[in-house]
Amino acid sequence: MSDVVNNRDHHRYELAVDGHLATEHYKLDGKVITFEHTDVPKELGGKGIGSKLVQGALDQIRADGLKLILQCPFVKAWIEKHPDYADLVTR
């Protein structure tokens, strides 16, 4: 399994696993990023790939000093289970 990569040209974080690509699509406006949609191919379902993708993306936005707007229900649910990332969410 590779690391999460920010594909700025396509406005998404990517995680390549076993020939498939899981993605977290976003919009960036200054220092605020909106996570819009998480896409995990059905071949990777149930393996924790979505969680690894989200955690890797959130670690990067923290390192970049960005704030997060939650539009994606998967990311919202993930942060509810991992409150140590709640400080990234802008109110």
- Judged against a pLDDT cut of 80, whether residue 31 lies above it is answered with yes
Count other C-beta atoms under 10 Å from residue 23's C-beta. Answer: 19
Q: How far apart are CA 63 and CA 91, in angstroms?
A: 19
Q: How many domains does the chain have?
A: 1
- Judged against a pLDDT cut of 60, whether residue 1 lies above it is answered with no
Q: Which domain holds residue 60?
A: 5-88
Give the mean pLDDT of the chain. 95
User: How large is the average pLDDT for residues 25-44?
Assistant: 96
H helix or E strand, kind and range, residue 24: strand 20-29
Question: Would you state the pLDDT for residue 30?
Answer: 95
Q: What is the CATH number of the domain that holds 74?
A: 3.40.630.30
Q: What is the DSSP letter of 45?
A: T
Q: How far apart are CA 10 and CA 59, in angstroms?
A: 19
- For 65-75, the pLDDT digits (tens) are 999 999 999 99
H helix or E strand, kind and range, residue 50: helix 49-63
pTM: 0.94
